[in-house]
A and B are shown apart, each in its own frame.
Chain A
């Protein structure tokens, strides 16, 4: 199975700052079928980005995804208070679907 490694484990930033989250795959992600989810405590994950760079419906444009092959990035251009949360990447191009271990974005 494809192993996804997210870094850093925790990102400590202030509101208004830029967040850059990394997701590296153990092998190439088929068709760049790479997604990003946001999860807040006690809530289900919410889809942010799919096919590496397409924003899901209703997602603000401060969220952007990039990358291809084995290296992917989620960028939050200016952190809003509601953006402090856990973020997971997921590859869905090769079965089984797998998730990264997550990056926590916390308030500095």
Chain B
């Protein structure tokens, strides 16, 4: 059964770079596209972007200038980097598998909380 596990520093200083990884087990990382979504405490969901099986990416325009996603197939990991963070980037960050037929997020990891604070 597919499992997704997000990991990374729980605390990042303002202006620094947030770096997270999502480790995939129980399935093929190269068979799917992958998304990152975030959720500030007590608030709604914000789609950060997607990395496709081709390696191409599609980022939310609101974050595009600060976001980089990549896949390491050998390590079975998807990475997210968000630079120049502020307190507004404090959220639970989820990685999710993208359904190949319908292009939506059909399975999510449990998420990891990242706090931006000095």
The residues of A with any CB-CB pair to B shorter than 8 Å are 1, 33, 35, 43-47, 50-51, 56, 88, 90, 92, 95-102
B58 contacts A47, C-beta separation under 8 Å: no
CB contact under 8 A between A43 and B47, given known A50-B102, A92-B104, A96-B60? no
Q: Which residue of B lies closest to A51 (CB)?
A: B102
The residues of B with any CB-CB pair to A shorter than 8 Å are 35, 44-47, 49-50, 58, 60-62, 94, 99, 102-111
A44, B99: Cα distance in complex, Å: 17
B109 contacts A44, C-beta separation under 8 Å: yes
A47 contacts B47, C-beta separation under 8 Å: no
Candidates A46, A56, A92; contact of B103 at CB < 8 Å:
A92
Candidates A51, A56, A99; contact of B45 at CB < 8 Å:
A99
Query: For A50, what are the chain B residues with a Cβ–Cβ distance below 8 Å?
Result: 99, 102, 104, 106
A51, B106: Cα distance in complex, Å: 12
A97, B45: Cα distance in complex, Å: 10
Query: For A92, what are the chain B residues with a Cβ–Cβ distance below 8 Å?
Result: 102-105
A72, B56: Cα distance in complex, Å: 31
Query: For B99, what are the chain A residues with a Cβ–Cβ distance below 8 Å?
Result: 50
Residue of B47, B49, B104 with highest tally of chain A CB at under 10 A: B104
Query: For A90, what are the chain B residues with a Cβ–Cβ distance below 8 Å?
Result: 45, 104-105
